[in-house]
Amino acid sequence: MKTQRLEKYKSVCSASLTPQHPLIIQTRGHLSMLGMGFHHQLSRIMRPDDANIVGNVHGGTILKMIEEAGGIISTRHCNSQPGDRCVAALARVERTDFLHPMFIGEVAHVSAEITYTSKHSVEVQVNVLSENILTGAKKVTNKATLWYVPFSLQNIDKIIEVPPIEYSSPEQEEEGRKRYEAQKLDRLETKERNGEVIMPVLSPDRQTKEAYTVEFSQSSLIHLVGPSDCTLHSYVHGGVTMKLMDEVAGIVAARHCKTNIVTASVDAINFHRKIKIGCVVSVSGRMTFTSNKSMEIEVVVDADPLVEAEKGKFRAVTAFFTYISLDKEGKPLPIPPLKLENDEEQKRFEEGKVRYLQNKAKRLAEKERQQ
């Protein structure tokens, strides 16, 4: 039975690299400045079906590629030791910035590297580079950090121990440990506040809602999880969920601004529970904060099992997306201020303002370090 499952695992991995899925995969193991480990590069030309409604590459498509590269390298690393075969599941994506837009016809190069391991988790850092193959021009479009947890192929509830990596110095390992502890603490804090119910908004009468309020732009998508959405365990790929979340956030932003909008960044995405095939997922988004040039949208994913209905509905994923509004020349436009109608909206607005100021301070500090 174990051999059959392993063969199935190999066949599925091979199937994902057929011409129907036009990826160029390059992997090399070597000693790098970040320690002994594997680098992984995934390259793909951006096609028309990767576009958003204004013609740029969909932010959710980029998030899916980032997750795919991270999943490959972390799963490969976790299977480099004897014992149960396993697959690495996405647990968290740290703040991800969209530095430049990517366009149809360009080639996306997604480079992933393992930078830290704890007993049960893997940190993967990913860079995304776009290449104009007509001019040769290249630019960095995204940077992200992801955390994965390996689950046994024989028992989905069993978490596998992660093989350690070697570090170039004790200081490098200590920095990784600090990042691990910080994300662990943030996940615990997020779990404490993720119980609030956001009812799906399917067909609201927006004519009765005041423009620029939370209720006016609040939006939802309903999706039945099918086989093409899932991993070897029949659980949803993290990248599939992130693309749905980005679509909902984009709808909220567009309804608020009524202009061309693009993803500017994504605050940490926390995957609280796995979503199984056959679940109906409700992806809901609402505006929480606006500054002069940006808007924050809270997005939650609730899953409702159809076959195992007795398990009940549960909160699976949470995140905050930041969008900006652009004119026809691609220059930022002012954001209409969010109109607050009750104390809860005021509280969420103040919390969003704190996140906005913290992220702004981090960006300024990063610029100073680079100078």
Catalytic annotation present for 327: no
Cα–Cα distance, 143 to 49 (Å, whole number):
23
Q: What share of the chain is helix, strand, coil (3-state, %, to 5)?
A: 35, 35, 30
Among candidate residues 50, 79, 229, 246, the one labeled active-site is 246
Catalytic annotation present for 52: yes
Question: CB atoms < 10 A from the CB of 103, how many?
Answer: 14
Among candidate residues 52, 79, 142, 260, the one labeled active-site is 52
β-pairing verdict for 138-152 and 107-117: unpaired
Question: What residue spans of 19-152 are helical by DSSP H?
Answer: 59-78
Cα–Cα distance, 186 to 145 (Å, whole number):
14
Using CB atoms within 10 Å of the CB of residue 178, give its burial: 0 to 12 exposed, 13 to 18 middle, 19+ buried.
exposed
Phi (first) and psi of residue 41, to 5 degrees: -125, 130
DSSP per-residue letters across 134-167: TT--EEEEEEEEEEEEEEESS-TTPBPPPPP-B-
Cα–Cα distance, 149 to 124 (Å, whole number):
11
Q: Is the distance from CB of 38 to CB of 29 less than 8 angstroms?
A: yes
What's the length of the chain?
371
Report the catalytic residues: 52, 246
